[in-house]
Amino acid sequence: MHILEKVKESVKRVRGSTSVQVVLSACFLIPLVAGIYLSTGTSRRSAHATQVSRDLASMYAQGVDFSQPANRNIALQLLDRSDGRTLLILTRIHNVGPGDCGNTPVVQCSNNGYAVITQRILIGDPQLRPSSLGAPLSVDQTTGNVLGWATDASARVTDSSVTLKPGESAFAAEAFITGPDEQTGVYARTLL
């Protein structure tokens, strides 16, 4: 009998330690699985934002007018339905040369030699994030054209990585996408 009691005690200890092992394993596995799930969603949104910004920059550089409602709808269709809130920022950039100043003397043409924003179109929620390129103050809300870009210092591009020669132009598309339950999101920019 003595041996049978020892076996029963041994089985009870094994069962008890198995429960402890399961609980301890769950403490580590649940956060690990949750982290993998969240990072996969963020990675997917990041890749999607990059693709959307590339597609929009290409279309914008080829002359698609995103100030028109039909073309805005095309831009919105590029977004995934499972995305949360989004913001698409389209920007035409031009480096001001003496010929851009018109009748204004070059001395008074304060943006001569600077890259400036000549058009800014926002599609989506503008409260989500500012553009990394700058924020012109005077924008025609119908066309997106920046008013007085040759002389208005607020139209200057604030990102020093944008380098253009006088008279050159570029097109940028920025995409910011949040997850359905996120306050932060992912950002991508394409400059052509």
| pTM assigned to the model | 0.78
pLDDT tens digits along 144-168 = 999 999 989 999 999 989 999 988 9
The token pair that represents 74 in the structure block: 């095309």
Ordered by start, the domain boundaries in the chain are 49-191
- What local confidence, expressed as pLDDT, does residue 138 receive? 94
- What local confidence, expressed as pLDDT, does residue 130 receive? 94
- What local confidence, expressed as pLDDT, does residue 18 receive? 66
Looking at per-residue pLDDT, the higher value among 183 and 1 belongs to 183
Per-residue pLDDT, averaged over 91-120, amounts to 87
Q: What are phi and psi for residue 34, nearest 5 degrees?
A: -65, -40
**CA angle at residue 93 from 90 to 98, to 5 degrees?**
160
pLDDT tens digits along 117-128 = 999 999 988 998
Confidence category of residue 45, pLDDT binned at 50, 70, 90: confident
